[in-house]
Amino acid sequence: MMLWIPVTVAAALVQTLRFMLQKQLKAAGLSTSGAAFSRFVFGAPLAILISGLALSLSDAPAPRPGAGFWSFALVGGLAQIVATHLTVGLLVLRNFAVGIAFTKTETLQVAALSVLLLGESILPAGWLAIGIGLAGVLFLSLRGKGGPLLSRATAHGVLAGGLFGLSAICYRGAALELGDGPAFVRAIVTLACVTSSQTLAMGLWMRLFEPGQLTRVFATWRRTIWVGVTGMLGSLFWFFAFALQNAAYVRALGQIEMVFTLLVSFFVFRERLSLREGLGIGLICASVLMLVLLL
pLDDT of residue 95: 58
Q: pTM of this prediction?
A: 0.78
pLDDT of residue 101: 66
pLDDT of residue 146: 42
The span from the CA of 197 to the CA of 191, in Å, is 10
**CA 266, 270, 276, 280 torsion-angle sign:** negative
pLDDT of residue 94: 57
What ranges make up the beta strands (E) of 158-272? none
Q: Which residues contact 233 (CB under 8 A, 6 or more apart)?
A: 14
The span from the CA of 240 to the CA of 11, in Å, is 9
Residues of the chain with pLDDT under 50: 145-147, 149
Helix (H, G, I), strand (E, B) or coil at 268: coil
- Tell me the one-letter amino acid at 65: P
The span from the CA of 90 to the CA of 82, in Å, is 12
C-alpha distances in Å from residue 231, one per residue of 154, 191, 209? 24, 11, 24
pLDDT of residue 147: 46
The span from the CA of 247 to the CA of 230, in Å, is 21
Per-residue DSSP letter, 29: T
